[in-house]
Amino acid sequence: MSNNWWRGGVIYQIYPRSFVDSNGDGVGDLPGIIQQLPYVAKLGVDAVWISPFFKSPMKDFGYDVADYRAVDPLFGQLEDFRQLVSQAHQLGLKVMIDQVLSHTSDQHNWFQHSRQSRDNAHADWYVWANAQADGSPPNNWLSVFGGSAWQWDTRRHQYYLHNFLASQPDLNFHHPAVRQAILEEVRFWLELGVDGIRFDACNYHFHDQQLRNNPPAQQRDHASVTADNPYSYQAHRYDKSQPENLLFLRELRALLDEYGAIALGEIGDDDSLTRMAEYTADHNKLHMAYSFNLLTPEFSAQHIRQQVEALEAQLGDGWACWTTGNHDAIRVLTRWGNNTQHPRFVRLVLALLLSLRGSACLYQGEELALPEAELEFEQLQDPYGIAMWPEFKGRDGCRTPMPWQQQAPGAGFSSANPWLPIASDHLARAVDVQEADPHSCLAFYRQFIHWRRQQAALLDGSIRFSDAPASVLAFVRDNSLLCVFNLSNTRCRYPLAAKAQALHGHGLDGASLDNDTLILDAWGGWFARLDPA
């Protein structure tokens, strides 16, 4: 617990394909990230989390790793990453990378060897199983991306497990050699000086060795998959979140502790809150658990309070990392705000997110109040969206390139045709436009994040919710700091139960006092120090 920057820290997620293209091929890269690290540092965040940049056939855009130790030439070279770490550290930024350990690409040498026969050195490194008597898959497990989680392989005359794309075979973590090899892959990056690792799909490492069928879901999980996805029809009792994973997470934590690095785990589960508490308990597994629970379409004071209170009730000494946006979710301005033009909405979301107990991840472009980009089917790159169209349009709409300069070719992202089109309505929100406006969303982000850093109660204090009108979310941090937010576009009143002194300097407006009643305008928020008496 000696390296506590992460506790209450703010992490900025960079999706490298869409951040900055330095070499004119239409795809962002590591040198491009280096160019804009001063921009990130100026936000006041503690760390950058960089989505996968490892060697990959890019069937799932880097989340299908073909070589854990190699930078894909699309993104640069290993020396570029070394320089990135050095530059980030000079700017006071920690560096986190994304490690996808539960599965590899089918182009990984381990899998290429494994599929050749049933008796080679890597034969059992992946999850293989015989067909049933009628030739059908071994059980009823489903892929997150649709259809069966089993793919027939004609070389071995067996099925292999893939919880995601068929080109992403699952490793067999029950095999000791697999666990040891994976730990060594992680150590490689720790030796290069990374300060933390975000572990993708970290509850998928182990499967039930008896391959028992999943039962039907009593309550469908729509936090980690959409309502149109049959994956939510099952209770995922046997294909993930197995008890053996707790032992592996302890091994992983021990390795990270050697280097003073931290672990952030992505957890998509039928009962993700319970799993988050379990995976961060006792200071010997994950440092933080990454939550999907605020990435859903539901936006209400009741929903947010319910999620936080349910987690707090079982979290103990664990720790959460909340987010309202990432590379897999519709942008928050569209998902929660219905693309409102009210300038206060996105500011309210940031202030609320950074006032909850826990750490927070911010996704690139949120500081510009970017809406979800609208793409035609022919423009899609995401295999998930292509398969689920039109009810689910995929993840490309939140992955379009960052607009750096309103008038520049390619919006300053690239001198070439970008891998995804730049949304026309993003141009007016470009970085250079907002840099010139002291009242812009970008200016607010910088102000609020720096202000929050001075509020100890918001970094590590307790949280206690108060009853309030339906549209109002009110809670007290560390028994001393009152946070009140109006989650609606209409004015409302909130009677204060105790004397409070308004705090200033955070930049969030839309609130005023009428004697002992707080008047909250649309999307208004208020911070106050409670009278100790």
Q: Does the pLDDT value for residue 323 go beyond 70?
A: yes
For β-strands 262-266 and 196-200, DSSP reports them as parallel
Sequence spans of domains, the chain: 10-104+174-452, 461-530
Is pLDDT of 222 > 90?
no
Q: What is the DSSP letter of 496?
A: -
**At 85, which amino acid appears?**
V
Contact 36, 20 (CB under 8 A): yes
On the question of pLDDT at 1 being above 60, the answer is no
**Torsion sign (Cα): 11, 15, 16, 18:** negative
Q: How confident is the model at residue 383 (pLDDT cuts 50, 70, 90)?
A: confident
Q: Which two three-digit tokens encode residue 364? A: 């690139």
Mean of all residue pLDDT scores within the chain: 96
3-state secondary structure (DSSP) of residue 109: helix
Among the listed residues 184, 258, 425, 531, the single catalytic one is 258
For the structural domain made of 461-530, what CATH number should be given?
2.60.40.1180
Q: Is the predicted pLDDT of residue 224 greater than 80, yes or no?
A: no
Q: Is 106 a catalytic residue?
A: no
231 contacts 162 by C-beta, under 8 angstroms = no
pLDDT digits (tens, 9 = 90+) for 455-480: 999 999 999 999 999 999 999 999 99
* Model confidence pLDDT, tens digit, residues 492-514: 999 998 899 999 999 999 999 99
Q: In the annotation, is 278 catalytic?
A: no
| One-letter-per-residue 3-state SS of 434-495 | HHCCCCCHHHHHHHHHHHHHCCHHHHHCCEEEECCCCCEEEEEECCCEEEEEECCCCCEEEE
Would you call 359 helix, strand, or coil by DSSP? strand
Identify the band that residue 533 occupies on the pLDDT scale cut at 50, 70 and 90.
low
pLDDT reported for residue 522: 98
Report the CATH number of the 10-104+174-452 domain: 3.20.20.80
pTM value?
Answer: 0.96
Q: What integer pLDDT is reported at residue 516 of this predicted model?
A: 92
Cα distance between residue 259 and residue 288, in whole Å:
17
> Tell me, what amino acid is at 488?
S
The pLDDT, as a whole number, for residue 101 is: 98
- pLDDT beyond 60 at 116: yes
With cut-offs at 50, 70 and 90, classify the pLDDT of residue 216.
very high
pLDDT digits (tens, 9 = 90+) for 152-164: 999 999 999 999 9
- The one-letter amino acid code at 487 reads L
Which among 200, 266, 278, 366 is annotated as catalytic?
A: 200
